[in-house]
Structure formats: C-alpha cells, structure tokens
Structure 1
Amino acid sequence: MYVLDGPGVRDSRPSRTAGLCVERLAARLATAADAQRPALIADFWAEVERRGAPLVEQAAGSPGRYAVTFLWRGHRATCQVLLLADGLTDPGDLTSALLDRLPGTDVWHLTYLLPAGSGGAYRLAADISPGGPPADPGRLRQRLRALCVYAAADPLNSHPDAVTWSDSDGSVYAVPAAAG
C-alpha cells in the first residue's frame, strides 16, 4: 500500500471495518420478504458491476478516511475467499485476509478503513475444495498458503490500471487523494 503525504493523513495503518454498502444490503435483506431477496441481491451486483470493485466510500465520521470493500461473487461451492493485497494482508496470518460471507447470499466481502491517497495491488482466490475449510488451524494455514497460487485479478475490478504481481495478473485499488 502506498500513502500520499499531505495534510490530514495522520494514520496510514489499515484497519478492518464494516462495509457501508454491505451493511445497507444486509439491512434491506433483513426486512425483505423471501420473494424480494433475489431482486435485492441482483440489484446489489448490478451496482457493483456499474461502479467496479473494490467499492470505495467516504467513511462516516472519519474525515480523510475511506471504506474500501473488496468483493467476490461466490456460488454454492465457494467455502472461503482469500484477499492478497499489498500492505493490507499479512502473509504470516492469511486467516485475517479471508472475506466474510453475507449469510444467505453469494456476497463475500472484506472492508478496510484506509486514508485518502492510499492504494496498491491485490489478487483474490476462491476456495472451492470439497468439505469446506479445515477446522484445524495448522491445516487451514496450509490450505490458505496453497490457495495463494490460484490468486488472480478481480473479475469485478474495472480499473484499467492492471498491474503485474509476480507472474500473475493483479488488480489495483485506489483511494481518492485528500481534497486540499
């Protein structure tokens, strides 16, 4: 992750947070009739396709900070999704880089609160191994390390600034610079 120097950039450390866009979807789903849920989810994905991923939203109550939401559209075989992002994910603790699934949907998400002007390269990998993730922490770490080989560019990212990360294509995320 890179951070542009400037006024208002006091703390460049990323912190995991709740994504505003996913919270709005969850709230709508919680009050929707079962018959309405598929349309709400379809509308969410249409908005993501229109805007491109990751979703970048001004963080409420945090001037100069943005909620950056990485997304994956899963299917019934998806048991976990891993984010590998410059400066955001710790290669020594890949479990902290797993996306969360919005229950009852195909929406997998992970949001970081980031300062204005930050950005970097990232890749995603979906685990579709039969039987789901191992319960044993050691075996889970081993599975996640193996999954890194399959990480690729974000299919929802429409930013033209694709980068090369090792021998695989990657995607970029960029937070707007602070107004000044």
Structure 2
Amino acid sequence: MYVLDDGPGTRDARLLRTAGPCVERLAARLTAATEVERAALLAEFWADAERRGTPLVEEVAENSGQYAVTFLRRGHRATCQVLLLADGVTGHGDLAPALLDRLPGTDVWHLTYLLPAGSGGAYRLAADISPGGPPADPKRRRQRLRALCAYAAVDPLNPRMADVTWGAPGGSAYAVPGAAA
C-alpha cells in the first residue's frame, strides 16, 4: 500500500492506493493453478464482476470506515495500458498514477483505491491499444495519456450512469456505502 503525495507536508487521502482484496484472492488462486484451472478461474472472476457490477467495493476490516474500491477493465493482447478518469480521485495534472495495473499473465487490469465511507462520483476508462506500447520518454508518455482521455468510455460492467467533470457527456457511477444517491 502506498500514498501519492501532492507535495511536502500534504497528503491526499483520496489517492491511497492499495491492492484490492478481490484481486489478491484471484492472484493467490492463479499461482497454484494449472493452465486449464487458470482459464476457469478467470472466467469465474469476470462472471462474478459482471454479476456484481464494477467497481468492486469491499470493506477493509483493519481500516474501519474505509473501503477498497477496485476499478477493473478486461484487456486483450493488444492492451498496453488502461487509464482511469475518476471524479474526486484522478488528478488532472499527472495522469500516470491513474494507470491500472495488469495482473501478470491475465486479461485483468485493476486499480484499487482505499476510500472513506460516503465517497462517490463518476468515472470513465480508456484502454490504450497503440502499437509499440507506452513511450519510454516521460514527456511523450504524458502526451499519450492526455490524448488517451479523448477515448475514455463508460465501464461496460457498470450499469449505473452519472455525469462526469472530465469533459465527456456521461460516465459510470461509483459509490461507497454512505454516499449520496
């Protein structure tokens, strides 16, 4: 678990990034699985995510009143990075911290934030399928992420819609228990 800072003496609790319990459980199960079992585990994971709807929200026992909110995106072999644009979570200045992580050897892209009860907002996701992967040069990578924002779309596993502040007509809603409707 780590905290992203906004500068000396400041801490933005909204950006407390952690490993999501759902993804940790999947990773542990995949480690001991055969190839056939891995395919079944991944199919089961995605079926559960579709049934529950995303993002996945799980209470964190050791942090009373805190919830692990896991944003998911199913990738394919051409996906080289996935960007989350979330009201109240993603900073407009530096988009790199809003990149989802890929669970190695799978199609699971994930990003979990530890958020307090009552948190909520709207979000969109953008999958980068550009050939050659992300640029190594930091300036070009920032430009690529900014350009990727134009392709952000609603979460296909989330039926709840909301207005976003990222310049798009609509997005998917996320809500932690206690959030206003």
Match of 1:134 in 2: 135
Match of 1:8 in 2: none
Structure 2 gaps of 5+ residues are: 1-10
User: Structure 2-normalised TM-score?
Assistant: 0.88
Match of 1:68 in 2: 69
Question: Is the partner of 1:36 in helix, strand or coil?
Answer: helix
User: Residue type of the partner of 1:48?
Assistant: A
Relative distance call for 1:96 and 1:12 in structure 2 (3 A) is closer
User: Residue type of the partner of 2:162?
Assistant: A
Q: Is 1:177–2:178 an aligned residue pair?
A: yes
Deviating beyond 6 angstroms after TM superposition, the runs of 4 or more aligned structure 1 residues are none
Question: Alignment RMSD, CA only?
Answer: 1.6
State the identity %.
72
Contact 2:83 2:125 in 1 (8 A): yes
Distance 1:62 1:70 in 2: 19
Match of 2:13 in 1: 13
Q: Work out the number of aligned pairs and report it.
A: 167
Structure 1 gaps of 5+ residues are: 1-10
User: Structure 1-normalised TM-score?
Assistant: 0.89
Contact 2:134 2:141 in 1 (8 A): yes
Q: Deviations over 1:19-66 (max 9, x none)?
A: 000000000000111221000000000000000000000012010000
Contact 2:123 2:164 in 1 (8 A): no
C-alpha displacement at 1:168, in angstroms? 2.9
Match of 1:34 in 2: 35
Match of 1:90 in 2: 91
Greater RCO (CA < 8 Å, at least 6 residues apart):
1
Distance 1:96 1:12 in 2: 13
